[in-house]
């Protein structure tokens, strides 16, 4: 019997790629968007908004698996917004008879989370509050053309001849290529070994943000950028610094940087048993992101 998958955030960085991957594989996909009349991607557009509970019943009708890719980092009250939306969506999914929700959350230990990561963790539990099993993939920075975290990296190494960087750039993280995120998401959908499970996903290397900037500069510019770390640049000041040299808005930048002060590395590799295949190295992820940007008609 054919599986019907609803993808929320279908026009976003992850959503549009996932919809394309699933439809190419022969899956029936409902692409959920607030503006279905403007949608020109693959799948079948359905109009709904996670912030409007009354719109969800129609979108979820006949759905077997729902993929939840929504968050509100560009709002100061993102924690409340995301909690309300997750609770409403989980309840609507239960009423519709959905048998699995797949969620892309944030990597990090439960005891030491920023507000952003704490919100991601809360959404995990709220999505399943009404009884639908939730499969969660927890990731750190996703590297790919169009992703906010990658855009921060790309614009920093492009726009600055040298960088005075905050102390938090020495924090370790585990970046992952967007291609691997899509592969893992597709691999856990309607997979009996993944129902109700939480998996950590990441590339093969744990590295500091400073290391990431150095590799990105080498591949994008053909040279390394001189870097001077300073210990007194707080996350709030850092967000103003980012706003000066990138086009990422201040609220989103501040919420992302709050998470960058906490080490987030993969401790559990069980995902490799469920979705086999080694993830791409960071250098290859950067090469692909830069190549896709060029193919999109934009300068590196």
- pLDDT, tens digit, 9 for 90 and up, residues 27-72: 999 999 999 999 999 999 999 999 999 999 999 999 999 999 987 6
Task: Return the sign of the alpha-carbon dihedral for residues 218, 221, 222, 223.
Answer: negative
Percentage of the chain with pLDDT > 70?
Answer: 82
Closest of 10, 4, 2 to residue 97, by C-alpha = 4
- As given in the structure block, the two tokens for residue 282 are 């960071």
pLDDT number for residue 238: 63
Rounded (10°) angle between helices 209-221 and 282-295? 50
- Residue 190 pLDDT > 70: yes
18 pLDDT band, cuts 50/70/90, is very high
Tens digit of each residue's pLDDT (9 = 90 or more) over 198-210: 999 999 999 998 8
The answer to whether residue 73 scores a pLDDT higher than 60 is no
User: Distance between CA atoms of 199 and 105, rounded to whole angstroms?
Assistant: 10
Task: Report, as an integer, the average pLDDT of 123-146.
Answer: 95
DSSP annotation of 264 reads: B
Dihedral Cα 22, 27, 30, 33, nearest 10 deg: 10
For 6, list phi and psi in degrees, rounded to 5.
-100, 130
What domains, with CATH codes, occur in the chain?
4-142+177-202+266-279 (3.40.50.720)
> String of b and e for 108-133 (b: at least 16 CB within 10 Å)?
beeeebbebbbbbbbbbebbbebebe
- Residue 259 pLDDT > 70, yes or no? no
In this predicted structure, what is the pLDDT of residue 258? 62
Is residue 232's pLDDT more than 60? Answer: no
Is the pLDDT at 160 greater than 70? The verdict is no
Angle at 94 between CA 90 and CA 97, to 5 degrees: 140
End-to-end CA, the chain:
45
Residue 295: Cβ within 10 Å count: 9
**Measured distance CA(171)–CA(278) in Å, rounded:** 24
């Amino acid at each position: 019997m054919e599986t019907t998958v609803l993808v929320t955030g279908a026009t976003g960085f992850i959503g549009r790629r996932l919809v394309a991957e699933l439809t190419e594989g022969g899956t029936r996909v409902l692409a959920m968007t607030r503006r279905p009349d403007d949608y020109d991607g693959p799948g079948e557009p359905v109009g709904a908004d996670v912030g409007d509970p009354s719109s969800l019943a129609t979108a979820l009708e006949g759905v077997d698996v729902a993929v939840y890719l929504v968050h509100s980092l560009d709002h100061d009250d993102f924690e409340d917004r995301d909690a309300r939306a997750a609770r409403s969506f989980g309840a609507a999914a239960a009423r519709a008879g959905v048998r699995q929700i797949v969620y892309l959350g944030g990597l990090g230990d439960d005891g030491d989370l920023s507000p952003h990561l704490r919100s991601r963790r809360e959404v995990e539990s709220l999505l399943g509050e009404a009884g639908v099993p939730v499969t969660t993939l927890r990731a750190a920075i996703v590297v790919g053309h169009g992703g906010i975290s990658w855009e921060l990296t790309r614009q920093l190494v492009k726009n600055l001849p040298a960088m005075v960087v905050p102390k938090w750039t020495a924090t370790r993280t585990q970046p992952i290529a967007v291609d691997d995120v899509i592969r893992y998401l597709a691999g856990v959908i309607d997979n009996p070994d993944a129902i109700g499970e939480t998996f950590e996903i990441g590339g093969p290397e744990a590295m500091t943000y400073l290391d990431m900037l150095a590799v990105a500069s080498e591949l994008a510019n053909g040279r390394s950028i001189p870097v001077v770390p300073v210990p007194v640049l707080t996350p709030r000041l850092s967000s103003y610094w980012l706003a000066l040299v990138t086009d990422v808005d201040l609220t989103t930048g501040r919420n992302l940087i709050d998470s960058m002060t906490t080490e987030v590395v993969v401790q559990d590799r069980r995902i490799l048993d469920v979705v086999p295949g080694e993830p791409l190295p960071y250098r290859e992820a950067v090469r692909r992101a830069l190549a896709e940007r060029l193919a999109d008609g934009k300068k590196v």
